[in-house]
Amino acid sequence: MAAGAAALAALVALSACGAKTDAGGTSDKAVQADTSGDTVKVGLLNSLSGTMAISEVTVRDSLKLAIDEINASGGVLGKKIEPISEDGASDWPTFAEKAQKLIREDRVAATFGCWTSASRKAVKPVFEKNKSLLFYPVQYEGLEESPYIFYTGATTNQQIVPALDYLKSEGKKKIYLVGSDYVFPRTANKEIKAYAKANGMTVLGEDYAPLGSTEFSTIANKVKASKADAVFNTLNGDSNVAFFKEYKSAGLTATSMPVVSVSIAEEEVKSIGSQYLAGQLTAWNYYQTTAGAANTKFVKAYKAKYGQDKPTSDPMEAAYTSVYLWKAMVEKAKSFDPEKVRAASDGITFDAPEGKVTVDGASQHIYKTARIGRIGTDGLIKQVWDSGKPIKPDPYLKGYDWASGLS
Amino acid sequence: MTVILGQMFTGVSIGAVLLLIALGLSLTFGQMNVINMAHGEFIMAGAYTTYVLQKSLSGAGISLIVALPVAFLVSGALGALLEWLLIRRLYLRPLDTLLVTWGVSLMLQQLARDMFGAPNVQTRAPDLLTGNITVIGGDDPLTFANSRLFILGLAIAAVVALSLTLRLTPLGRRIRAVVQNRDLAEVSGISTSRVDRTAFFIGSGLAGVAGVALTLVGPIGPTMGTNVIIDAFLVIVVGGIGQLKGSVIVAFVLGVLQSVLEYSTTVSVAKVLVLVAIVAFLQWRPQGLYTLRTRSLV
């Protein structure tokens, strides 16, 4: 009886939605954001459970921090931001479903989130079809542009290429590639191999483990036997825990064979344990230790809100920045309408914790400074190299001859 | 050469992990015919027990040592509770145990999520277990990871303990009697319901011990049980249901096969090839490596 009532209620709710949003989802008509009240809704779409939660929960926290700050200073166009948080559960179809729900049922003005490229690829058609905006805060493999996505993390030429330049300058000529078996590592490794070929480096081996995999003894053996100069690590999520435990067990160290990781930031270092990671390298655009007043303020505010032992990381910073960039775009456009916001985006700047960032309206990526860091025994990452100035985003690597065959 | 030896060791160590996760199941599924889908969650309970103990006890080494018996008791108690609440009503309907325990496994996963949060957690391994020992020195040294040796030792100890319990103790004789002929055991004065519960306690407790071992290899999370339960069932089915000997052999064979294939192909391809090999084997011998029609139980 109760079940029947619940089903009936669900049916009524569904048909009510249908009345205003065409819940069938077949229409290409854009769903207008609901801005009739004192608030404007935005979607937060992150994995709060599953293998990626280790990373994505921190992004959600940092998005909430930015939203709180903006609300405290008066909101956007006089409206308070109301975040609607959804759990993508480290499962790509779930991401697509939740994106659809945020856009069509909650009628959000913009959505912030996603981490893995697989989740981004899963939601991309949803945002494009509904003509709604996604702000994506994580470094990725490039080779993508979408009119409805703003990429506030690094693209290839702002992270992977500088990391390879750094290895080359350190005389590391033989490298081994280890990654999770999905789109980001496979594409990134394609780019790395093209780079290596053009720059006199040798790729000795390439191994992938399923996302979430925790059995790395064979891969560690292969890496060890290869006698490479360095390992380029594109593993995502907590597979890194198992990988670095096994790496140390195999007797490999940061001195004998350094690992450059592009998906491990302060939060992951903390939970993997710095005893496994001390001395290893990372490539990002931001570290908790990055100098500057904007970062001091960000780190202080984050720790005050979430606890003194909580570190800040690159994707968290990019997520935080993305909310401010959206605010600046909306204010310039004087509208929440995605098309007007997009049109207003070119040249928007923000004094972000990582330094000044500027939106490149053509590619909808942003100018970012590349930084290589070394993980310390205290779990913090110290910068050992930076690009000196923000690098113009080049998602399709058009500025590099060796990348001409990639697509 | 050392690469091959190192890889053989890896295979054996993967086998040891497989054996540990399958061992408890060999008792509850193999001997008692209960398809316990919640077995993976008992492994998870053991892993979280290690995590909780490490939070409250100083010293990773101490907490690991304490975790072994405590995880055995915690998971064993959960198993005995499950048996008393649900499974004892279902001994005549083995297929229904699958659905019931699957439901229980989902509930336990949610419980873990509520208690410990959705993100996975990690434990620190004792310093002694993070290094390795050099077996062959020289330019191309052969090293064995200490944590893997520990897991191997643990698996061997657990097999020996279970095997001796089944062979030599009065409880073991009663378990075997109940498995062979429940009615005859009952009329001989054996309390079959008590034997069932004790057997379930031991089988589930062994899952807890496996959970402790898994914390040395990877992260601890609410879904870690679902990641290992299939492997555990494969080991039991291929080994021959009710055959401890079969489980032991198959665990190591699959471990070595997996590691050899992983080395020569990739992790994903190796997983597929192992599954294909298992399917082919079961076509040839549907009853598993050791047949059911034997009086020998251990």
pLDDT of residue A29: 56
Q: At what angle do helices A293-306 and A53-72 cross, to 10 degrees?
A: 110
Tell me: pLDDT of A9 over 50. no
Confidence of residue B162 (pLDDT cuts 50, 70, 90): very high
Q: Work out the burial of residue B293: count CB atoms within 10 Å of its CB; fewer than 13 is exposed, 13-18 middle, 19 or more buried.
A: exposed
Residue of A nearest to B260 (CA): A218
B188-245 pLDDT, tens digit each: 999 988 998 999 999 999 999 999 999 998 889 898 998 889 999 999 999 988 788 8
Same domain, A138 and A171: no
Distance from CA of B177 to the nearest CA of A (A): 39
Q: Work out the burial of residue B92: count CB atoms within 10 Å of its CB; fewer than 13 is exposed, 13-18 middle, 19 or more buried.
A: exposed
Residue written as token pair 């939605």: A17
pLDDT of residue A404: 86
Tell me: pLDDT of A251 over 90. no
Q: Cβ(A49)–Cβ(A87) under 8 Å?
A: yes
Give the C-alpha separation, B27 to B239, whole Å.
Answer: 13
Tell me: pLDDT of A3 over 80. no
pTM, to two decimals: 0.82
Q: Give the mean pLDDT of A305-328.
A: 95
Same domain, A347 and A377: no
A277-308 pLDDT, tens digit each: 999 999 999 999 999 999 999 999 999 999 99
The kind and range of the H/E element at B279 are helix B267-284
A interface with B, Cβ–Cβ < 8 A, is 48-51, 53-54, 57, 87, 181, 207-210, 212-215, 217-219, 221-222, 224-225, 238, 241-242, 245-246, 248-251, 271-273, 275-276
Residue of B nearest to A87 (CA): B118
Determine how many CB atoms are found less than 10 A away from the CB of residue B221: 30
Q: Give the mean pLDDT of B264-283.
A: 90
Distance from CA of B68 to the nearest CA of A (A): 21
Residue written as token pair 């609901």: A34
Tell me: pLDDT of B118 over 60. yes
Tell me: pLDDT of A28 over 80. no
Same domain, A258 and A394: yes
Q: What are the backbone dihedrals phi and psi of residue A230, each rounded to the nearest 5 degrees, phi first?
A: -160, 160
Determine how many CB atoms are found less than 10 A away from the CB of residue A32: 16
Same domain, A71 and A115: yes
A33-70 pLDDT, tens digit each: 777 788 999 999 999 988 788 789 999 999 999 999 99
Residue A292 lies in a domain: no
CATH code for position A205: 3.40.50.2300
Same domain, A20 and A148: yes
B59-70 pLDDT, tens digit each: 888 899 999 999
Strand A281-284 versus strand A371-375 pairing type: antiparallel
pLDDT of residue A252: 92
Q: Does B265 touch chain A (CB under 8 A)?
A: no
Distance from CA of B119 to the nearest CA of A (A): 5
Region class of A84: left (phi > 0), else alpha (psi between -120 and 50), else beta = beta
In this complex, the residue of A48, A210, A273 whose CB is nearest that of residue B267 is A210
> B residues 115-174 near A, CB within 8 Å?
118-122, 124-125, 130-132, 141, 143, 145-148
Residues 6+ apart with CB under 8 A from A139: A153, A154, A155, A158, A159, A262, A263, A284, A285, A314, A315
Residue A295 lies in a domain: no
Same domain, A386 and A251: yes
User: Does residue B112 sit in helix, strand or coil?
Assistant: helix
Average pLDDT score, chain B = 89
Q: Which of B147, B262, B271, B273 to mutate to test the interface with A (most CBs of A within 10 A)?
A: B262
Tell me: pLDDT of B286 over 90. no
The kind and range of the H/E element at A191 are helix A183-198
Inter-chain touch B262–A219, beta carbons under 8 Å: yes
In this complex, the residue of B145, B221, B267 whose CB is nearest that of residue A250 is B145
- Does the domain made of B1-297 have the CATH classification 1.10.3470? yes
Residue A86 lies in a domain: yes
Count of domains for chain A: 2
Q: Which of B146, B266, B269, B273 to mutate to test the interface with A (most CBs of A within 10 A)?
A: B266
Q: Which of A207, A245, A267 to mutate to test the interface with B (most CBs of B within 10 A)?
A: A245
Helix residue ranges per DSSP H, B169-243:
170-180, 182-187, 192-214, 224-239
Strand B142-145 versus strand B132-136 pairing type: antiparallel
Domain region containing A201 = 157-285+369-403
Confidence of residue A30 (pLDDT cuts 50, 70, 90): low
Q: What is the DSSP string of B137-168?
A: -SSS-EEEEHHHHHHHHHHHHHHHHHHHHHHH
Lowest mean pLDDT among A171-175, A220-224, A263-267: A263-267
Amino acid at A406: L
Residue A247 lies in a domain: yes
Give the C-alpha separation, A234 to A239, whole Å.
Answer: 10
Question: What are the counts of helices (DSSP H) followed by strands (DSSP E) for chain B?
Answer: 12, 2
For residue A241, the chain B residues in CB contact (below 8 A) are 120, 122, 218-219
Confidence of residue B43 (pLDDT cuts 50, 70, 90): very high
Q: Give the mean pLDDT of B114-125.
A: 84
Lowest mean pLDDT among A177-181, A340-344, A366-370, B174-178: B174-178
For residue A212, the chain B residues in CB contact (below 8 A) are 227
Residue A300 lies in a domain: no
Confidence of residue B293 (pLDDT cuts 50, 70, 90): low
Same domain, A313 and A254: no
Q: Give the mean pLDDT of B260-264.
A: 89
Most distant CA atoms of chain B, gap in Å: 67
Same domain, A273 and A373: yes
User: What's the angle, vertex CA A114, arms to CA A10 and CA A396, rounded to 5?
Assistant: 135
Query: Which residues make beta-bridge pairs with A272?
Result: none
Beta strands in A325-380, from DSSP E residues, in sequence order: 349-352, 355-360, 365-367, 371-375
Inter-chain touch B227–A214, beta carbons under 8 Å: yes
How is residue A293 written in tokens? 């007043």
The kind and range of the H/E element at A41 are strand A39-46
In this complex, the residue of A49, A221, A249 whose CB is nearest that of residue B113 is A49
Same domain, A203 and A254: yes
ipTM of the complex: 0.80
Residue A301 lies in a domain: no
Q: Give the mean pLDDT of A137-163.
A: 94
In this complex, the residue of A50, A218, A276 whose CB is nearest that of residue B7 is A218
Determine how many CB atoms are found less than 10 A away from the CB of residue A30: 14
For residue B7, the chain A residues in CB contact (below 8 A) are 218, 221
Same domain, A42 and A119: yes
Q: Give the mean pLDDT of A345-358.
A: 96
Q: Cβ(A264)–Cβ(A374) under 8 Å?
A: no
pLDDT of residue A286: 96
Tell me: pLDDT of B31 over 80. no
Give the C-alpha separation, A346 to A343, whole Å.
Answer: 7
pLDDT of residue B6: 85
Q: Does B110 touch chain A (CB under 8 A)?
A: no
C-alpha separations of A142 from A161, A179, A287, B62 in Å: 11, 16, 21, 47
Q: Give the mean pLDDT of A20-34.
A: 53
Residue A395 lies in a domain: yes
Average pLDDT score, chain A = 90
Tell me: pLDDT of A226 over 50. yes
DSSP 8-state assignment for residue B87? G
Residue written as token pair 């939740």: A98
DSSP 8-state assignment for residue B124? P
Same domain, A275 and A358: no
Residue A297 lies in a domain: no
Give the C-alpha separation, B162 to B201, whole Å.
Answer: 12
Give the C-alpha separation, A372 to B67, whole Å.
Answer: 40
In this complex, the residue of B218, B221, B263 whose CB is nearest that of residue A222 is B263
What's the gap between Cα B220 and its chain centre?
16
